[in-house]
Chain A
Amino acid sequence: MLDAQSNPTRTYLDRRVEEFRAQVQRRIDGSLTEDEFRPLRLMNGLYLQLHAYMLRVAIPYGTLNADQLDVLAEISERWDRGYGHFTTRQNIQYNWPKLPDVPDMLARLADVNLHAIQTSGNTIRNVTADPLAGAHADELMDPRPVAELIRIWSTDHPEYQFLGRKFKIAVTGSPNDRAVTKAHDLAVRIVERDGEVGYQIIVGGGLGRTPVVGKVIRDFLPQADLLPYLEAVLSVYNLAGRRDNKYKARIKITVNEMGLEEFSALVDEAFARIRPEFKGADQDLLAELQVAFEPPALPARDTDAYEAARAADPVFRSWSDINLRPHFQDDHAIAMISLKPHGGVPGDASADQMRLVAALARKFGNNEIRVTQEQNLVLPHVAKADLPALHAELKAAGLATANVGLASDIIACPGMDYCALATARSIPIAQQIAERLEDYEVEVGEMAIKISGCINACGHHHLGDIGILGLDRAGVENYQITLGGDAGADLKIGDKTGPGFGYDEVTDAIERLILAYLDLRAEGERFRDTIARTGSEPFKAALYEEEGNRDAA
């Protein structure tokens, strides 16, 4: 059987590591200037941030096996500060690597087929997918064979190393979008029509300073047309995309300026030219990948012990109510592992925690781990009978916070605590809000709070029920609030409310919104349902009421 992640090959990875080792050496001995070296290090995922270098490692479509997670833990201890930070694009970032160590880190990653290639730069980035792929009960088809096909095709593809700007691709095989597909430059949704499986293709989505909801450019693309169609889209973008202005260089601007119809016509023209070049090797590979990603054979298990534990232990019951998701096999569950302890840094995991999750994946989880766009980890295939034991081990390691999907399950970018681009801090805001809401967040229910520390929107603030954007206003951190975003299948960009809040005011402001929701909501309404019914005015009133009173006082 093909090892699904055997590409790029070991030989290729070794060659890239040695090439980078020589480049680092030449930078250190003075043969390369920083201007010459910067693009070379970025091609290997190495950024220079506020206090240190940062190495971003791709986790293809968010899927890891236990050996890979063990190596991620080992790297954090040998060459970093004993933890890693999981990101909203299913990557892991190390915040404190030393330049001379980075080639060794990359060499160790290559041992388990991981790398940092195309995690930066104007190229096709890590291909992301539904983190619950191949496990969730609602799935039409596992998106990972398609994601892997796209990854193999796009890795080191010479035509896509100098695009006008970065290019992000996501794939989902479920009607319930957990991969934020419409916020990607290009997305593939696996769909079914008249019993035939095909792809809905979405282009031109993105967040950042110009948030745009992706548009459907093809409602139903036959499977065999996928790669030639993607080549057609990329070739049109590569030529027509603007290179005169970094802020207008993403495909969302190309599509908006040109109009979907004209863009689509150019893609069709290119497709007609490119399609005959594909003679079926891609489809043979896809077929092999589909075999490699076949659903695991999970032995049937009795669920009595699970039901008994739920009845006996309210902490376990609460965790299983909140952190489990339905598995395609009834006697199994998907276990979400929260990396959002109240007061912790969203998405951070210590080396010990990573090793424990790897061990639990071996013991209870078919050796699989996933990384979510919400910066949590997942064991996608756990027998319900094993859940009490799993929960006990997670709890002992601080990994059993029962908050996935709740208000304290906050997405936050690294912000000004780490990132050189940030205009304000994100992490401490997330920590304060999570601690403030801890006591009543279960009563609040499903709630997405998302925080970005600059306009680039790595924290997806546009898509939060409540979004928070940190800015620098005349030398002071200021936080703008948006309401009514939605990261799901019908992606929605939130609306800006009004004047922003200072660092010390923002947690109070968020709490006023939550309390207003508790007052306003009708039976069974989520935050987004209430706001859809009432409009944002009552929420804005709650948000600024206190301000007004204080100003008047």
Chain B
Amino acid sequence: MAKRFQPGIVSANDLLSGAVIYLAADGKWVSTMSGAEFITDEERAAERLSLAESQPEIAVGPYLAPADNSDNGPVPNHFRESFRAAGPSAPARKSWGIA
């Protein structure tokens, strides 16, 4: 049985920097999930994923990530996407005084 469609966003990693990127409604790639297009139907999802896949010079490994919508745009509904969106959680280099 096919997996039930879940609303969400299209995300990938930027080819040059490796950074997390999201596909916006105007077809541009943005760096924050809140700027991503929130996709609610399966047909649109396939279309947007196919658009992402046609841009290998920008986007590596595009995929549909489930998300919730909010007044401020899409927000993660799984911790993995939260960490992708926010960056490493660890107060990593506090002992060195590097931000």
Give the chain B neighbours of A472 by CB distance below 8 A: 79-80
Contacts of B58-99 to chain A: CB distance below 8 A: 60-61, 77-80, 83-84, 87-96, 98
Residue interface mask B3-37, A partner, CB < 8 A = 1: 00000000001011111100000000000000000
Are the CB atoms of B89 and A425 closer together than 8 Å? yes
Q: Does A51 contact B (CB under 8 A)?
A: yes
Please pick, from B13, B87, B89, the residue contacting A48 in the complex, using a CB distance under 8 A: B13
**Distance, CA A92 to CA B66, complexed state (A):** 34
Q: How far is the CB of A146 from chain B (nearest CB, A)?
A: 37
Are the CB atoms of A28 and B16 closer together than 8 Å? yes
Are the CB atoms of A34 and B56 closer together than 8 Å? yes
Closest to B92 in A: A345
**Distance, CA A398 to CA B95, complexed state (A):** 7
**Distance, CA A398 to CA B96, complexed state (A):** 8
Q: How far is the CB of A167 from chain B (nearest CB, A)?
A: 27
Are the CB atoms of A83 and B91 closer together than 8 Å? no
Closest to A341 in B: B95
Q: How far is the CB of B99 from chain A (nearest CB, A)?
A: 10
Q: Does A348 contact B (CB under 8 A)?
A: yes
Q: Does A350 contact B (CB under 8 A)?
A: yes
Give the chain A neighbours of B19 by CB distance below 8 A: 51-52
Are the CB atoms of A50 and B17 closer together than 8 Å? no
Are the CB atoms of A417 and B18 closer together than 8 Å? no
Q: How far is the CB of B10 from chain A (nearest CB, A)?
A: 16
Give the chain B neighbours of A81 by CB distance below 8 A: 98
**Chain A interface residue count, Cβ-Cβ cutoff 8 angstroms:** 39
Interface of B is mostly: loop
**Distance, CA A416 to CA B83, complexed state (A):** 7
Are the CB atoms of A49 and B18 closer together than 8 Å? yes
**Distance, CA A92 to CA B93, complexed state (A):** 17
**Distance, CA A82 to CA B15, complexed state (A):** 22
Are the CB atoms of A99 and B80 closer together than 8 Å? no
Are the CB atoms of B88 and A82 closer together than 8 Å? no
**Distance, CA A28 to CA B84, complexed state (A):** 23
Are the CB atoms of A417 and B89 closer together than 8 Å? yes
Give the chain A neighbours of B47 by CB distance below 8 A: none
**Chain B interface residue count, Cβ-Cβ cutoff 8 angstroms:** 28
Q: How far is the CB of B12 from chain A (nearest CB, A)?
A: 10
Q: Does A30 contact B (CB under 8 A)?
A: yes
Closest to A412 in B: B90
Are the CB atoms of B16 and A83 closer together than 8 Å? no
Please pick, from A27, A98, A353, the residue contacting B17 in the complex, using a CB distance under 8 A: A98
Please pick, from A33, A53, A352, A427, the residue contacting B18 in the complex, using a CB distance under 8 A: A53
State the total of A-B contacts with C-beta under 8 angstroms. Answer: 92
Contacts of A289-343 to chain B: CB distance below 8 A: 341, 343
Closest to A429 in B: B90
Give the chain A neighbours of B90 by CB distance below 8 A: 345, 417, 425, 427-428, 431
Give the chain B neighbours of A51 by CB distance below 8 A: 18-20, 84, 87-88
Give the chain B neighbours of A99 by CB distance below 8 A: 15-18
Q: How far is the CB of A450 from chain B (nearest CB, A)?
A: 17
Q: Does B57 contact A (CB under 8 A)?
A: yes
Q: Does A100 contact B (CB under 8 A)?
A: yes
Q: Does A259 contact B (CB under 8 A)?
A: no
Given contacts A27-B15, A52-B19, A83-B98, contact A345 B87 (CB under 8 A): no
Are the CB atoms of A28 and B57 closer together than 8 Å? yes
Given contacts A27-B15, A34-B60, contact A475 B78 (CB under 8 A): yes
Give the chain B neighbours of A527 by CB distance below 8 A: none
Q: Does A418 contact B (CB under 8 A)?
A: yes
Q: How far is the CB of B18 from chain A (nearest CB, A)?
A: 4
**Distance, CA A427 to CA B91, complexed state (A):** 9
Q: How far is the CB of B3 from chain A (nearest CB, A)?
A: 15
**Distance, CA A431 to CA B60, complexed state (A):** 32
**Distance, CA A121 to CA B64, complexed state (A):** 27
Q: Does A67 contact B (CB under 8 A)?
A: no
Please pick, from A48, A98, A427, the residue contacting B92 in the complex, using a CB distance under 8 A: A427
Are the CB atoms of B79 and A345 closer together than 8 Å? no
Are the CB atoms of B91 and A343 closer together than 8 Å? yes
Are the CB atoms of B93 and A416 closer together than 8 Å? no
Q: How far is the CB of B77 from chain A (nearest CB, A)?
A: 8
Q: Does A476 contact B (CB under 8 A)?
A: yes
**Distance, CA A398 to CA B31, complexed state (A):** 35
Give the chain A neighbours of B18 by CB distance below 8 A: 48-49, 51-53, 96-99
Q: Does A446 contact B (CB under 8 A)?
A: no
Give the chain B neighbours of A50 by CB distance below 8 A: 20, 83-84
Give the chain A neighbours of B60 by CB distance below 8 A: 34, 48
Closest to A100 in B: B16
Q: Does A508 contact B (CB under 8 A)?
A: no
In the complex, the 7 A-B pairs of residues with the closest C-beta atoms, listed nearest first: A417-B88, A52-B18, A53-B18, A427-B90, A350-B96, A341-B95, A344-B95
Enumerate 30 A-B pairs (CB-CB under 8 Å) in ascending A order.
Answer: A28-B16, A30-B56, A33-B56, A34-B60, A48-B18, A48-B60, A49-B18, A50-B83, A51-B18, A51-B20, A51-B87, A82-B98, A83-B92, A83-B96, A96-B18, A98-B17, A98-B18, A99-B18, A344-B94, A398-B96, A416-B79, A416-B83, A417-B83, A417-B88, A417-B92, A425-B83, A425-B89, A425-B90, A431-B91, A472-B79
A residues at B contact (CB < 8 Å): 27-28, 30, 33-34, 48-53, 81-83, 96-100, 341, 343-345, 348, 350, 352-353, 398, 416-418, 425, 427-428, 431, 472, 475-477
Q: Known contacts A50-B84, A51-B20; can you find 8 more A-B pairs with CB under 8 A? A: A30-B56, A50-B83, A51-B84, A99-B15, A99-B17, A343-B94, A345-B93, A417-B90
